[in-house]
Structure 1
Amino acid sequence: MTAPPPDPATSLDRLGQVAGSVAQVVAPLSVLTALLFYFGYASSRARYLYFGVDVDTIGLSTQDYVMRSPEPLLTPLLVLALLAVVVAVVHERVHRRVQAALADAKSADPKVAAAGRDRLERGSRGARAVVATGDALVVVGVLLLLAFPLWGGWAYYTLVTPLLMAAGAGLALYGRRIARSLESAQQRSALVTVVLSVLLVISVFWATATFAEWSGRGAAREAARHLDRLPAVILDTTERLHLTSPGVRETTLEANEGQTFRYRYRDLRLLIQGEDRVFLVPETWDASDSTLLVIMDDSVRLQFRFLNDPP
């Protein structure tokens, strides 16, 4: 007996299921990659801007930025994880009390029912207070946004503003949820929930991006304080560079037949290497010095110096 031919409709259904499953995996991965790229870019941009280098001139790839994103994201992710644990613990306790109060309010015993209704009333007042506090924090955050021309120069503006709005949106959402569980007549406003949820996500994103920039700037300052930790470089060139940094030593190489390199520079450190260029800084770099850009072609020669630490 020969097997019956496959049903085209069944094959198409299976293909559709596979495509749907792949889309469910690919879409979150694409969003995650985009987020990692952005935070890695924001941190790298702040880091190398400290040395006067525009990160776009380095030529880093998307993978480079993604690989640089864990450092600035570590602290925000830990904070969010701890907040999630705290919220989960608080919500569990509140949920148990709400369920107990609702059960007591339906008791056949008048005293127990009255006590349950009293607890529900106190819980409703507490939920409304949480909502009012959240709304107030959101209003303060919006006022700070409107006051950007006056307060935009404040060092903590870009962190305080989104944190206020994120805290306010979170409290308002949770307070409304508890109020609906306590009050049967409480109507759910889908529009308000969506707006607050979008505001919460945007505020968390803004705060995380700000921390990524601060992390990059902090890493740059740490590197500037300890340039001796960067790879040491000896640079040979065909022409004199006329460097102004006092810590860089220049020596003239002996002129030999076939020798194209005439000058050698020591006491340089490798800051970052791109696709076809490297950025060097003096070993005793400070804010008055300049970062050296070296294009990797036949006119320069790089030597990486071993550390003076015998194996």
Structure 2
Amino acid sequence: MTSEPTVENRKEPAEPEPEPHGSVEAAEPSPDDLVEAAEPAGSTGHPVLRWALVVLANVTVTTALLVYFGWQLSAVQAFELGIDESILDMSTKDYVLRSVRPVLVLLMIIGVAGLLWLQADHVLAPRARKDGTGDRLIRHTLRALSLAWLVLPLAMWALGFVLQTASFLAFPFSIGAGVLLTLYGTHLRTLLPGASPRDGLPLLYTFTSIIVCVSLFYGATNLAIYQGVSLAQNLIVGDLTKVTLYSTERLYLGAGKESALPASTGKAAYTYRYGNLRLFAHTGGRYFLIADDWRRDQGVVVMLTESSTIRLELGGS
């Protein structure tokens, strides 16, 4: 009897499992992870200062602040001169250019304050980690920071009884600064020995961002009001560019000195000349002129649209 051939079941060799680093994609690091990785161990001030820098140096916030400040400044100055800001028809570029200098000064002050804050953090953070509230400086600092959101605005308000202008300008910014200091106090408490993680910190950062941004725009409003009134009150007409206006038709202007042109002047196309005028502004295709003897309590602002029937000569004696 012939025996049937046996079939030997052979197990195929298992494919080697891929190395973990070959098949598993590394998670995309977040911006905060990259910042933390770049910082040396034990660095200070990280969460609050990084967050404040992101809020204050945000391009959108800065641009909006420039445009808003320029608009507010123009509106107040125009109101003081007796005209409405809308007739100036300024563009976004005009608003930004008018506000660059004061807003940059404001951002410079904020930057210097941030550097001082960072230096203070280099002193406070290590002591908070080491001795906690057993350190007298840390204990008193935490008490002061916990009340900064209330004490700082109240102090600026009380300053108004002595220095009204300083209080008017500083009060809005004191609100944002007080809230930031209180937030920093919360951060210091997380560094104390044995401190447990605090819940709700993301919401705390969010609400603080709102208050800081509002205080910036509030403060920009007060600063623009102050500067707009100051520009109008201290306007020196003699420093403005002198204007001589020629027209093919009589314009019946409420300012300046009108005279008819004889044919011998060589300006046959123009029959009227207007002198004793100064250029207040040129925007939106319009000229805004005032008389040499213009004053805030009397006098008008003349608005002329660019046209082929008029010609302006600027400067001269």
> TM-score, normalised on structure 1?
0.68
Q: AA paired with 1:217?
A: V
Partner of 1:180: 190
| Alpha carbons of structure 1 residues 163 and 258: separation in structure 2 relative to 1, 3 Å | closer
| Alpha carbons of structure 1 residues 61 and 122: separation in structure 2 relative to 1, 3 Å | closer
Out of 43, 50, 54, the position equivalent to 2:84 is 54
> How do 1:12-91 and structure 2 match up within 5 A?
29=59, 31-91=61-121
How far is 1:272 from its partner? 0.8
CA contact under 8 A between 1:135 and 1:172: conserved in structure 2?
no
Q: In structure 2, how many angstroms separate the alpha carbons of the residues matched to 1:159 and 1:282? A: 33
Partner of 2:233: 221
Q: In structure 2, how many angstroms separate the alpha carbons of the residues matched to 1:157 and 1:84? A: 21
How far is 1:57 from its partner? 1.5
> How do 1:1-311 and structure 2 match up within 5 A?
29=59, 31-101=61-131, 118-119=134-135, 123-137=138-152, 140=154, 159-182=169-192, 184-185=194-195, 188=198, 189-190=200-201, 191-222=203-234, 224-225=235-236, 227-237=237-247, 238-243=249-254, 245=255, 248-254=256-262, 259=268, 261-287=270-296, 288-306=298-316, 308=317
**CA distances 1:55-76 after superposition (whole Å, capped 9, x unpaired):** 3222222222222221221331
Q: In structure 2, how many angstroms separate the alpha carbons of the residues matched to 1:274 and 1:48? A: 13
SS at the partner of 2:120? helix
SS at the partner of 2:90? coil
| Greater Cα radius of gyration, structure 1 or 2 | 2
CA contact under 8 A between 1:128 and 1:176: conserved in structure 2?
no
Query: Which protein is richer in helix relative to its size?
Result: 1
CA contact under 8 A between 1:128 and 1:179: conserved in structure 2?
no
| Alpha carbons of structure 1 residues 192 and 33: separation in structure 2 relative to 1, 3 Å | closer
How far is 1:129 from its partner? 3.1
Percent pairwise identity: 25
Q: AA paired with 1:118?
A: G
Q: AA paired with 2:107?
A: L
Q: In structure 2, how many angstroms separate the alpha carbons of the residues matched to 1:47 and 1:93? A: 46
CA contact under 8 A between 1:43 and 1:72: conserved in structure 2?
no
Q: In structure 1, how many angstroms separate the alpha carbons of the residues matched to 2:137 and 2:315? A: 72
Q: AA paired with 2:259?
A: T
**CA distances 1:47-98 after superposition (whole Å, capped 9, x unpaired):** 3333223332222222222222212213312221221121111111112322
**CA distances 1:97-141 after superposition (whole Å, capped 9, x unpaired):** 224426xxxxxxxxxxxxxx732x762453033202324446x59
Aligned-residue Cα RMSD (Å) equals: 3.2
> TM-score, normalised on structure 2?
0.67
* Number of aligned residue pairs: 249
CA contact under 8 A between 2:278 and 2:290: conserved in structure 1?
yes
